[in-house]
Chains A and B, each alone.
Chain A
Amino acid sequence: MDDRLKEIALKAKEQILGAESIQDAEALRIEYLGKKGKLTDILKSMKDLAPEERKSFGQLANQTKAQIESALESRMKELKALARDLQLKAQTIDVTEPGTPVSLGTRHLITQTIDEITKIFMSMGFSVSEGPEVETVFNNFDALNAGPNHPARDMTDTFYITDDVLLRTQTSPVQVRTLLAQKPPIAVIAPGRCFRCDTPDATHSPMFHQVEGLVVDEGITMADLKGVLDSFAKQMFGSSTRTNFRPHHFPFTEPSAEMDVSCFKCGGKGCRVCKGSGWIEILGCGLVHPNVLKVGGLDTEKYTGFAFGMGVERIAMLKYELDDIRLLYENDIRFIEQFK
């Protein structure tokens, strides 16, 4: 009997090792361990044995069963691994084929530029103010200290709706609206559309965008103006950017200045973008003219302020080296998506 058990164990292990598939292995389990299996048969014949033999035989039988089970289990594991490998191999794909397009849309370059400027000024405590595109002549000119004969008022420069209403030529009227609506301390920027009578060409557009800025508080000085705008320039154009303030003239600021930044393409050595000068003119600024502060009913002895304004298209064009402003309003999606 013992010999038969050993023989079965030997045979079974041999067959199990030779099983080629999960089904073969399953068949062997039934053949040996099933209800009518070879081992089961032998165990059934145990009842014919003498009681003292039965014990040792029983132990041997259990061992044999465990051996077969373990052999089956390990073979099964191997076969399953093999089968999985085969299946995965069959599922192999060409990973170099293109991805299925799941495209995000893109904000317009003008929006992106305004967003970037806005983020920087918000980080410095500026809120965002707004004003209408169709403005009063008063807010656009008179309140900004531009006299009745200021050349910009000409019909050749400014679009009019009536004698008293126009398309704003600058975002500066938002300064007036802010001064009328708010008490100091004031720190706002105002991005928006502006309009001037320019026939569209590579560098002109009858509609364009500006970002205006206004700070009014006690004790604001030229030094504050320089500090804020220098910080803006460094955040906008890179931390190594230098700024240069040149005297200039605007009716609504006194003193007035223009700010140049060191060329962000060549770092100031001189290149095509900065026309060899190493500097790029970015914005106009100055201390708010007392006549403007007076429109807001402020005590000009107590309060001072500074204002600035920059052209969004100009900054975007310089930054991305656009050679034609009309690209911005043509809205070819291939152009828009270049700035994703």
Chain B
Amino acid sequence: MLVPIRWLKDYTDVNVDADEFVRRMVLSGSNLETVEHFGEGIEGVVIGRIAKIEKHPNADKLLVCLIDVGKAEPVQIVTGAHNIFEGALVPVCLDGSHIPGPLHGQPKVEGGVTIHAGQLRGVDSFGMLCSCSELGFDDKVVPVASREGIWILPDEFEPGQDIVEAMGLKETVVDFEITPNRPDCLSMLGMAREASATFGTPLRYPDTECRKVAPEKSEDYIKISIERPDLCKRYCGRVIKDIKVEQSPWWLQRCLIFSGQRPINNIVDITNFVMLEYGQPLHAFDIRTVRGSHIIVDTAADGEKFTTLDGNERTLTSSMLMIKDEGGPTAVAGVMGGLASEIEDDTSMVLVESANFLGDSVRRTSKALGLRTEASGRFEKGIDPNLAKDACNRFCYLVEQLGAGTVLAGDVDVYPSVEEPVTIDIRASRMNKLMGVEISAEQMCAYLNALEIQTSVNGDIITVTAPTVRQDLLIEEDYVEEISRLYGYDKLPVALPKHTAEAKLTPRQELRSLAKDVLTGLGMDEVQTYSFVSPKASDKVRIPEGDPRRQFVKLINPLGEDTSVMRTMILPNALEVLATNYTRSIPEARIFELGNTFFNTGNGPDGLPEEKDALCLAAYGPAENFYLMKGRAEELLRVLGVKGTEFVTESSDPSFHPGRCARILKDGACIGVLGQVYPEVSEGYGIDCEVYAAELDFAKIAELSDREKKYEPLPKYPAMVRDFALVVKEEVKAGDLEKLIASEAGDLLEGVKLFDVYRGVPVPPLCKSLAFSLTYRAKDRTLKDTEVNAINEKVLAALKDRFDAVLREI
């Protein structure tokens, strides 16, 4: 809501400077967007009257003008604009004058532009005629009559007057953000009410009483029927004759321009002015077009066609409220008028409509038609039906004042169910309790009265009646805010709650944090990627049709395909991240993400999808290999308290290299998969080196996690170590050898470690040599060579027997 401070002063006094005004308005609850100062940087620009226009002798597109600027001699100025005429009042930038600019067709220059006398194609020009936007106004507020060139000023000034002073171009405009609970503040009167309460200044209502009404009555010319009182709370109309359409006087144009509205002509301008003043949209019909002189407020017929003011033909539905006459629809109620009933140059009699349409109905219609207007926006937010009559009369008053027509006696006001103000009881003690202060009921009443809320006190009870413009004051708590904000949030005391609960993280939260600690400790960077992805991501990582990971939770209204389904795995996102880094020539990247995945299983609570924690690790770089990634996963699982996991060969996961992939099992249940990303997959992301990754089911890991720890006495007796190397066929798995060693060696085996893998001479082809180190130890004695040797022999025999493992000298 743009509030020009000088205009606001019509309704209440503003006795402080702009900064203080804004500061205190913000503290009392108005939210600031911006403050703009107009008229700055205009110097030496005067009003001039064009005395004579001649063609430029050397240029077809230029004109040479003689301008009366209040001096003895006129000033000669060359211009390229063609909307000027002899006798017109225009802004004249004299030699050495300064304007904010930008100059027509040129870019904006910081600090504005200085105009100098010069020659244009050989003819002297002692300055420049300028446009409205060259004086710093937005294109969208330039008066219609001056859109095509020089600003043709209203004919109410004298040549030679300083333009800033004569036209009041210096103005501070405060843009307030109006929250949805306060549609009453979308009006100058609403803002004036706030300012009046904030500063304790009196509120002045505008004059609405016509002094010279015609003897004819409005009701003789128009009949109004509301067929849908559920959608139209009130319809107030009044008729004006002898309409004279012309430019508005400057004071009115000025209010509109600073409020961001373009002056068009007096009738339209008054409509907009009253809308800004009261917040009540008005509409004017050419009464000749109202067939049967009867306005009927009713819904449209399904499929009915109607052409709106903007020239578009629209198809209506039976839920759309229309303004009709006896021949059919003439306007979409609260949204836009019809092309047929538009005010024309020869219009002599109009009906002004000041109606109240139900916000929800207007919203639905406006949405269905894809048509949003200033009026529809205001109706949607909610307007007090009690404003309709005042706004209608204010319109008529201004028409009379401007000599734009003659107002007929009386109005036609259909108001089936009068909106009554809401009265409730509030407790002063409750106010104080919630605010944490002790202020008297009388003090509270003073704050409320300043907002035109009526009060009466009876002990602790204050009976309050809010004006109907305040549709947001319904319960006790609403009044806490009203009293607090005028008392001042800054003056409320500061305390800390007495009760302090014990703060704790859930085991899951702790585990997530621990996982991040471990992984960053292992040198991996955490990434955060979107929860929504493209369904094509599944193709990129070769997820087959019918896989549960393709049962997406889909968005109805995604921004685009790339963010149209919720992710079921993190790997594709991780690969995207690696690709981003790879294409930026970063030699190595190690990343992880711990986040939600979403499954359309129907098993979630409240009909929601299942959300599961997933953890993805991924890396590329010269040091990366399968075993490094496996080592990270092993250390992570160890710290997270998932013991006894097993990595088994997985050769059919479509996203991974069939020969370099393992499934991670815990007691037979899969908790993740790890390996080299299938080369075509990583290449598909534009990464031309090996990528290793793991996708872990963090939810399952959390279930299996057991981080209980107990002290184990350190060994008292020495260990005995036996190393041996075995030659086995390539396909024999080290993990299987280890398992057999462990089971054969029994309790005295403390640990077994594969410490070397060798291929090549003298190991036969298609074989490999695996060197193990076995540590034996007893808890209660020093082991004897003989007993260890015996066990070791038994182990070797079993290995030979089961895997044909041949002992090799090392």
A residues near B (Cβ < 8 Å) are: 102-108, 110-111, 115, 121-128, 130, 132-136, 149-151, 155, 159-162, 164-165, 167, 185-187, 193, 195, 197, 199, 206-207, 215, 217, 219-224, 226-228, 230-231, 244-249, 254-258, 287, 289-290, 304, 328-334, 336-337
B509 interface residue per 8 A CB criterion: yes
What per-residue 1/0 map shows which CB atoms of B572-587 lie under 8 Å from chain A?
A: 0000010011001010
Given A106-B520, A226-B489, output 7 extra A-B contacts at Cβ < 8 Å.
A103-B523, A127-B501, A226-B494, A228-B496, A254-B477, A255-B477, A304-B434
13 contacts between A and B (CB under 8 A): A105-B590, A110-B528, A111-B528, A128-B506, A134-B609, A221-B433, A223-B493, A224-B495, A224-B496, A227-B497, A245-B489, A247-B28, A333-B589
Q: B475, B556, B609: which has the most chain A beta carbons within 10 Å?
A: B556
Smallest Cβ-Cβ distance to B516: which chain A residue? A107
* Cβ distance B234 to chain A, nearest Cβ, rounded Å: 20
> From A185, which residue of chain B is reached at the shortest CB distance?
B499
B521 lies within 8 A of A104 (CB)? yes
- Does B504 reach chain A (CB closer than 8 Å)? yes
Q: Which of chain A's residues have a CB closer than 8 A to the CB of B584?
A: 332
B435: Cβ under 8 A from any A Cβ: yes
Please count the residue pairs between chain A and chain B whose beta carbons lie under 8 angstroms apart in the complex. Answer: 235
Among the listed A185, A220, A337, which residue makes an inter-chain contact with B501, where contact means beta carbons less than 8 Å apart?
A185
B contact residues vs A (CB 8 Å cutoff):
26-29, 31, 179-182, 359-360, 363, 380, 433-437, 475, 477-478, 480-481, 484-485, 489-490, 492-506, 509, 513, 516, 519-532, 553-559, 563, 566, 577, 580-581, 584, 586, 589-592, 596, 598, 604, 606-609, 611
Please give, as numbers and ranges, the residues of chain B lying within 8 Å of A223 by CB-CB distance: 435-437, 492-495
> Which A residues lie within 8 Å of B580 (CB)?
330-332
Closest 5 CB pairs of A and B: A223-B436, A255-B481, A221-B436, A247-B29, A249-B179
Question: Are B607 and A165 in touch, CB under 8 angstroms?
Answer: yes
| Residue numbers in B under 8 Å from A136 (CB-CB) | 606-608
Pair A334/B492 contact, Cβ less than 8 Å: no
Q: Are A256 and B180 in contact (CB-based, < 8 A)?
A: no
Min CB distance B559 to A, Å, is 6
CB neighbours (8 Å) of B506 from chain A are: 128
Please state if B503 and A160 are interface contacts (CB–CB under 8 Å).
no
Q: Which residues of B contact A254 (CB under 8 A)?
A: 475, 477-478, 480-481
**Shortest Cβ distance from residue B529 to the other chain A in the assembled complex, whole angstroms:** 6
Residues of A with C-beta under 8 A to B555: 159-161, 167
Quick check: A199 and B559 within 8 Å, CB to CB?
yes
Name the A residues within 8 Å of B553 (CB-CB): 134, 161
B559 contacts A227, C-beta separation under 8 Å: no
A187 — which chain B residues lie within 8 A by C-beta? Answer: 497, 499-501, 503
A269 vs chain B, min Cβ distance (A) = 16
CB-CB under 8 A from B26, the residues of chain A are 246
B559→A122 contact, CB < 8 A: no
Of the candidates B489, B581, B598, the one whose C-beta lies within 8 Å of that of A247 is B489
Chain B residues whose C-beta falls within 8 Å of the C-beta of A149 in the assembled complex: 359-360, 363, 380
Give Cα distance in the complex from A123 to B504, angstroms.
10
Q: How far is the CA of A224 from the CA of B563 in the complex (A)?
A: 41
CB neighbours (8 Å) of A329 from chain B are: 528-530
Residues A133 and B611 in contact in the complex (CB < 8 Å), given A106-B525, A227-B496: yes
Q: Closest B-chain residue to A112, C-beta based?
A: B526
Cβ–Cβ < 8 Å partners of A256 in chain B: 481
Do A255 and B608 have beta carbons less than 8 Å apart? no
Contacts of A246 in B (CB 8 A): 26-27, 29, 31, 489
Instruction: Tell me how far the C-beta of B204 lies from the nearest C-beta in chain A, rounded to whole angstroms.
Output: 25
A128 to chain B, nearest CB (A): 6
Beta-carbon contact of B526 and A105 below 8 Å: yes
Task: Please give, as numbers and ranges, the residues of chain A lying within 8 Å of B363 by CB-CB distance.
Answer: 149
In the complex the two chains form, is A207's CB within 8 Å of B530's CB?
Answer: yes
Contact between chains at B181 and A249 (CB < 8 Å):
yes
Which of B31, B495, B556, B598 is close to A134, meaning CB atoms less than 8 Å apart? B598
How far is A293 from B609 in the complex, measured between Cα atoms in Å?
A: 27
Instruction: Tell me whether A206 and B563 are in contact (CB under 8 A).
Output: yes
Determine the distance from Cα of A339 to Cα of B526 in the docked complex, in whole angstroms.
Answer: 11
Docked-complex contact B598 and A255, CB < 8 angstroms = no
A residues within 8 A CB of B380?
149
Q: How many Å lie between the Cα of A199 and that of B179 in the bound state? A: 23
Contact A289 B490 (CB under 8 A): no
Is A333 within 8 A of B607, CB to CB?
A: no
The docked-state distance in angstroms from the alpha carbon of A105 to that of B181 is 47
- Residue of A102, A187, A221, A328 with most chain B CB atoms under a 10 A cut-off: A221
Residues of B within 8 A of A164 (CB): 607
Residues on the A chain within 8 Å of B563, using CB:
206
Q: How far is the CA of A249 from the CA of B608 in the complex (A)?
A: 30
Minimum distance in angstroms from B712 CB to a CB of chain A: 29
